[in-house]
Amino acid sequence: MLCEECQMRPATVHIRRTINNETTERHLCQECARETGELNIIGGSEFSLPNLFATLLDSDAFVKHLGLKPDPGTLKCPACGLTYGEFKAGGRLGCDRCYGTYREQLTPLLSRLHGQVQHAGKIPWRAGHDLRARQELRELKQALNRAVEREAFEEAAMLRDRIRALEKKLGPGGE
């Protein structure tokens, strides 16, 4: 078989792609495969993260694997009107409230994408001091667990005191 791109060299690269149940095949030589970027699976134009997870959300097996409810049916974001179907098709949320509306569906997806679902970075100043204190508390508790695991009890005791002080400051409901 000759390369379908240059029609000169023998086709040695065979690529079969299945996207949304549509399968396409290409038969190329090494040179053309490199030139058309077919070999570069990472930088290829059809392969982008949003496309990937739109595909993932469409796959029943994946949805089942994550323990997602197959489709939240009539659920619709009260603020922007985005339906779950629209999110699946476009891979974009419509507004900040969508994150509340689709929390149940998003959590497993985010866990799959990022490995974790708890923000650990910067906190906007406007969100107030409590948020920062609560984040610090979470971090201290993690550090405490690690210290205990390492049997670094002196450090653990110090961390425990800081956690108590912070909890007292935050008052009831401060996690």
- Tell me if 106 contacts other proteins by CB under 8 A: yes
**Cα–Cα distance, 102 to 128 (Å, whole number):** 25
Using the rule CB under 8 A, which residue among 21, 23, 43, 168 binds other proteins?
43
Nearer to other proteins, 10 or 100 (CB): 100
Residue 28, both tokens: 């190329």
Binders of other proteins among 44-63, rule CB under 8 A? 44-45, 48-50, 53
Residue 92, Cβ density class (10 Å: 0-12 exposed, 13-18 middle, ≥19 buried)? exposed
Give min distance, CB of 56 to other proteins, in A: 11
Residue 118, Cβ density class (10 Å: 0-12 exposed, 13-18 middle, ≥19 buried)? exposed
Nearer to other proteins, 140 or 160 (CB): 140
**Cα–Cα distance, 2 to 14 (Å, whole number):** 11
- Tell me if 42 contacts other proteins by CB under 8 A: yes
Using the rule CB under 8 A, which residue among 13, 113, 140, 170 binds other proteins?
113
Binders of other proteins among 114-153, rule CB under 8 A? 114-127, 131, 134
